[in-house]
Amino acid sequence: AQTVTQSQPEMSVQEAETVTLSCTYDTSENNYYLFWYKQPPSRQMILVIRQEAYKQQNATENRFSVNFQKAAKSFSLKISDSQLGDTAMYFCALIRANNLFFGTGTRLTVIP
Amino acid sequence: EADIYQTPRYLVIGTGKKITLECSQTMGHDKMYWYQQDPGMELHLIHYSYGVNSTEKGDLSSESTVSRIRTEHFPLTLESARPSHTSQYLCASSEYRSGMGETQYFGPGTRLLVL
């Protein structure tokens, strides 16, 4: 069974608009960590945002925020005021048993 | 942000050649990882290390081997490259902070093409 599921292979958004990328995960642990990574075309994978499961408050990093629903095991990423530089593959990831499990990714295209 | 380096960035090589992909990090992280990623696809863990002299196989079966003689260095070796090894290889290291857990940081990757 897939540990991390991203059900949207591709998405697009108009520049300056808001977009939400979905992610669900599976774990039996009570304390864990979730991440969104961004991988621009032919460029380095970088960490966008992280969430500790024991924290109820949703993490935010500038234009990036998450909607963490622990009971539903959902961890969506919202990008506000989308910019052309946000065009990338976005991977949701979960640390479980000391290993990082990635989803299959969502390819986001920001349209001028 | 961790400083993590990979060389070469791109490599085109013939079948049967032995190759070593280099990865080094300057942050003193104990844990390091190798992932394989086909273009536009998910990452698959092939090797990881908890520290010096520690190496473990990941979820994806791989014909590669790794070594960890120094904390900062985690090279990956293919004894005999094949076209099926064509992929991108990402190295990562992680730090653990009390109260924040573990975060992985990635190198720029090596794109390997085996002819």
User: Smallest Cβ distance to B42: which of A46, A52, A105?
Assistant: A105
Task: Please state, rounded to an integer, the average pLDDT across all residues of chain A.
Answer: 92
Residue A42: pLDDT band with limits 50, 70, 90: confident
Distance of alpha carbon B74 from alpha carbon A101, whole angstroms: 20
Tokens describing residue A88: 């990338």
Q: Are B45 and A100 in contact (CB < 8 Å)?
A: yes
Domain spans in chain A, listed from the N-terminal domain onward:
4-111
Question: pLDDT above 90 covers what percent of chain A?
Answer: 73
Torsional sign, CA B57, B62, B63, B69? negative
Q: Domain count of chain B?
A: 1
CATH value at residue B106: 2.60.40.10
CATH superfamily of A4-111: Immunoglobulins (2.60.40.10)
Amino acid at B21: L
Residue A26 per-residue DSSP state: -
pLDDT reported for residue A55: 86
pLDDT reported for residue A97: 67
Tokens describing residue A2: 């897939």
Q: Which domain holds residue B94?
A: 4-114
Residue A103 touches partner B, C-beta closer than 8 Å = yes
* Chain A to chain B Cβ contacts (< 8 Å): 48
The stretch A38-44 carries a mean pLDDT of 86
3-state secondary structure of A85: helix
**For A16, how many CA atoms within 13 A lie in the half-sphere containing its CB?**
1
Phi, psi values for residue A79, rounded to 5°: -110, 115
The stretch A70-95 carries a mean pLDDT of 96
**Which portions of chain B are predicted below pLDDT 50?**
none
